[in-house]
Amino acid sequence: MDFFSGDLDRVFTVLYEMGRIEPLLKKDWTRLYRSNLSRWSEISGAIKHLNQMSNLKDMRGFIETLPSEIIDALVVEVARELASYHENKTNLH
């Protein structure tokens, strides 16, 4: 499984500015996550590509070229990783 390498905040910012986060808040995230598993190679490729980018403009330009389902999968993955990070951070204190 691939992870965002330190760019969670940047990717979240781009997805938020693109209006991609709020529409997914009311959806069934378990179902979204399961549906993403069948396209993991595409999602993984997008994550790897985003990990190589350093600025928001380039990230946005790349994300805009992706199919809507992959963008939704990135939203789910960013949320999952942020939740995991905050959970681990809370457990340390």
Quote the DSSP letter at residue 54.
-
All residues at 6 or more sequence positions from 83 whose CB lies less than 8 Å from its CB, including other chains: none
Residues 34-75 pLDDT 10s = 888 889 999 999 999 999 998 999 999 999 999 999 999 999
Q: Which two tokens stand for residue 93?
A: 């204190």
Q: What is the pTM of this model?
A: 0.84
- What CA–CA distance (Å, rounded) separates 55 from 70? 20
Nearest to 79 by CA among 2, 18, 4: 4
All residues at 6 or more sequence positions from 49 whose CB lies less than 8 Å from its CB, including other chains: 62
Q: Which two tokens stand for residue 9?
A: 């905040």
